[in-house]
A and B are shown apart, each in its own frame.
Chain A
Amino acid sequence: MLEDKLLIWKFNRGSREALRSIYEKYKDDLVTLAAALLTDKNLAEDVVHDVFVSFIESARKFRLTGSLKGYLATCVANNARNRIKANQRRYGVALDDANPAAADSNNPEHRAIFGENLGRLSGALEQLPYEQREVLILHSYSGMRFKKIAAQQKVSINTVQGRYRYAIDKLRSMLNGEVRK
């Protein structure tokens, strides 16, 4: 946290080294977060690229109020959500619907991205409605509080907690083989 504050202080004074340090420190976590949200590594890298381009442009006026990692994770989640929304507007699918392109939790593409064991998890994640997947990943992977997720999704904390419980239950069912599509 202190180290991040120092990096931001330098960043706001035009230090490219500070920017490089911030990128190197958080890049893998942010790519993982975006890939878990979008279940597509190439798209995930585009999201992280765009987030850092915007971050670079905020130099000299950036003010950190919480944690830097939390701020960047929020930017990644917003960017990923906007891409999903744009895609769904194009194809006429609601954000709350499960991804119709999701085949099953044994999809080889997911195994290629995350490896054999976690690929199954990634395939199951893709079958969740986006809002539920977002709550689960932001809370369980990024450690974001339900209150903050509720503010991002513009819904109540109860709704967010409900989405979390549904997501956990569905994933558990899918991974235990109780649900076969």
Chain B
Amino acid sequence: MRPADNINQLIKQLQLKASADLDKRVHDKITKAPA
């Protein structure tokens, strides 16, 4: 099967990990959020 034969299947395979920098930025905001 050529890569373009199933575009949807390919798109579903896209997967990135959030970086440690983003984790830190968001967790810092959560820590500062009012409880």
Contacts and interface: CB of A to CB of B under 8 A. Distances in A.
B11 to A, nearest CB: 4
Contact of B22 (A14, A31, A140, A171): A31
Given A28-B17, A28-B18, A168-B7, A141 B31 contact: no
A113 to B, nearest CB: 7
A19 B10 CA distance: 31
Interface in A1-46: 14-16, 19-20, 23, 27-28, 31-32, 35-36, 41, 44-45
Contacts of B30: 16, 19-20, 23, 56
A175 B11 contact: no
A127 to B, nearest CB: 14
Contacts, number: 94
B29 A14 contact: no
Contacts of A27: 18, 22-23, 26
B12 A141 contact: yes
Nearest to B9: A140
Contact of A118 (B14, B17, B34): B14
A173 B8 CA distance: 14
Interface of A: 14-16, 19-20, 23, 27-28, 31-32, 35-36, 41, 44-45, 48-49, 52-53, 56, 59, 113-114, 117-118, 120-122, 136-137, 140-141, 168, 171-176
